[in-house]
Structure 1
Amino acid sequence: MKNYILKYFSVFTILFVTAINAQNFQGMAVYQTKTKMSMDLAGSGIPADRIKMIEERMKSMLEKTYVLTFDKTASIYKEEQKLDQAGGPGGGMRFMVMGGGATGDYYKNTQTKTSTKENEFSGKNFLIKDNLVTYDWKMEQETKMIGQNMCFKATTVVEMPKRNTSFNFRRPEDRKEEEKEPEEPKMEAVIVTAWYTLDIPVSHGPGEYWGLPGLILEISYGETNILCTKIVMNPKEKSEISEPTKGKVVTQEEYDTIIKEKMQEMRERMQNERQKGGNEGHFRVRG
């Protein structure tokens, strides 16, 4: 199997080396992300029409489209914005999703092994600059086709915050009078499975993932799946792939501290609202 991979890689390296080394080399890959999540709305006291609205909003948060634009060493990963995400009637419903993904451009450079994420939080713009995570990829023997591309399997183990993918909405009066202070998220070892293609020998991938000898076309871990649905090589109209520059520069650790403090403020405010009986329709969703 290893000899087969080496031969396969050698053939496509010869075919693509000219394009990869070309000054104008660029590619674009579209990814669909999906996360399975269950909600128990029985006994919540929420009207049927609002339950439907909650389910639709949850689906829009858990199923997104991203575009990865890349050249030989750099890439930008960005959510494809939909027109219906701009607003619309919310009926007082408020969702807060916890997560470390970028809200703007997510720039990665595999040559310098650095990344810069654009994040907007609480009306402020941040630039999160850090080193790329180095993954200990294990090359597996399995292969499969994704579209027209032969893909090879690789796995790694990553420490992630334990995610709750089941939510139980209760009536305010059914909650305990005294709620415990939220604990720090527990960490767990999660197996991440990647499928990469040697047809496109660059080390890029969706989100924070990278470091394989070919473009990563699929990532899966836990209840989350990220799948490439479209690839365009050397498009006629090139996109600019440059590191973002607007926002307050912070490290990931500094940004996490800012989020933690702000979320604590929001929890305290919500507790005050609850005590005043004004918390109907306000829910916290932690992803």
Structure 2
Amino acid sequence: MKLFFRKLFVLFFVLFISIPIEAQDFQGKAYYMSKTDVDMSNFGRPDMSEDQKKRMAERLKSMFEKTYILSFNKIESIYKVEEQLEAPTAGRGGGFSNIMSGAIDGIKYKNVKSNQFLSEHELFGKLFLIKEDLQKMEWKMTGETKQIGSYTCFKATTIKTWQDFDISSLRRPPNRDENKADENKQPEPVTPKKVEVVAWYTMQIPVSQGPGDFWGLPGLILEVNTDKTTILCTKIVLNPSEKFTIKPPSKGKVVSKEEYVEIATEKYKEMRENFRRGGGGRR
């Protein structure tokens, strides 16, 4: 009898929380904080002082720790960096900061009904629009739960095939002989790598959306942990008073993910060479 009433309570609970989600004009906004651990051995010059390394670490931290907003409805979402007023960055990274932030931060659009994924990226002032299908994720439910704010979340894991440009190509070789040999070296093809993903989602918001290109669970994803990156939801606003419209991005040169990876990798290599010839980008 107790088991019967427990199942009945769960049924009523799910029906109760699903009522606002079924509305045709249902909308919501989720705010995420992203943090990435950076291997400092892949950046800078071998002769950098500890103070210089510390300043570069702080610069990288400001580029990799950002707040994002996921605006979503039942089938669509837009994920982008929260707009904030920032202090002038002149003399604090120049082209290095621009290429890093431009390559990482881009508007991402997902449509789980049409299986469409669009992503905007700006690289050296040029805008690209990557068009591809949503990558299907084979999630495995673990049965584990935890509380994130006022939401009960369930754990799911998957293995994601990740293809991106190699940031370690910015690493400066330790001596001039390696510099000379490296100049004549042909770019190596970018090999997709497999990364374990741990996600926490809540059935209290039963939409198949999440931050970045993560999706495919029976509830909104509130936390994602990958190899070196953690994305955590810090605030949720359901049915905000100010309604918004989700529009797919349409600006930029249309490319595939493979084409963009090749272009971005070459740009990184060019920037690395400029850093070498200009003494760290000061010229």
- TM tier, smaller: 0.7 to 0.9
The equivalent residue for 1:279 is 278
Q: What is the CA-CA distance between 1:6 and the residue it aligns to? A: 8.5
The equivalent residue for 1:229 is 234
Q: Counterpart of 1:20 in 2: which secondary structure? A: helix
One-letter identity of the residue aligned with 1:58: L
**2:31 is aligned with 1:30:** yes
One-letter identity of the residue aligned with 2:249: P
Q: Determine the C-alpha separation between the residues in 1 that align with 2:243 and 2:44.
A: 51
One-letter identity of the residue aligned with 2:24: Q
Q: Determine the C-alpha separation between the residues in 2 that align with 1:6 and 1:262.
A: 57
Q: What is the CA-CA distance between 1:240 and the residue it aligns to? A: 2.0
Say whether the 8 Å CA contact 1:26–1:233 is kept in structure 2: yes
Alignment of 1:154-233 (within 5 A): 154-161=156-163, 173=176, 176-179=179-182, 180-233=185-238
Q: What is the CA-CA distance between 1:93 and the residue it aligns to? A: 6.8
The equivalent residue for 1:126 is 128
The equivalent residue for 2:137 is 135
1:24-57 CA-partner distances (Å, limit 9, x unpaired): 2111111111111232489833355543331211
Q: Determine the C-alpha separation between the residues in 1 that align with 2:147 and 2:177.
A: 50
One-letter identity of the residue aligned with 2:152: M
Q: 61, 71, 74: which one pairs with 1:72?
A: 74
Say whether the 8 Å CA contact 2:157–2:196 is kept in structure 1: yes
Say whether the 8 Å CA contact 2:18–2:204 is kept in structure 1: no
Q: Which structure features the higher share of helix residues? A: 2
Q: Counterpart of 1:150 in 2: which secondary structure? A: strand
The equivalent residue for 2:148 is 146
Q: What is the CA-CA distance between 1:124 and the residue it aligns to? A: 1.9
Paired residues in the alignment total: 272
Q: 83, 103, 107: which one pairs with 1:81?
A: 83
Runs of 5+ unmatched residues, structure 2: none
Q: Counterpart of 2:19 in 1: which secondary structure? A: helix
The equivalent residue for 1:16 is 17
Say whether the 8 Å CA contact 2:206–2:219 is kept in structure 1: yes
Q: Determine the C-alpha separation between the residues in 2 that align with 1:142 and 1:260.
A: 39
The equivalent residue for 2:57 is 55
Q: Determine the C-alpha separation between the residues in 1 that align with 2:205 and 2:266.
A: 43
1:113–1:196 Cα change, 3 Å: same
1:86–1:129 Cα change, 3 Å: farther
Say whether the 8 Å CA contact 1:39–1:168 is kept in structure 2: no
The equivalent residue for 1:117 is 119
Q: Counterpart of 1:259 in 2: which secondary structure? A: helix
1:202–1:282 Cα change, 3 Å: same
TM-score normalized with structure 1 length? 0.80
1:211–1:36 Cα change, 3 Å: same
1:110-154 CA-partner distances (Å, limit 9, x unpaired): 111101212222322222222111101111111111111110011
TM-score normalized with structure 2 length? 0.81
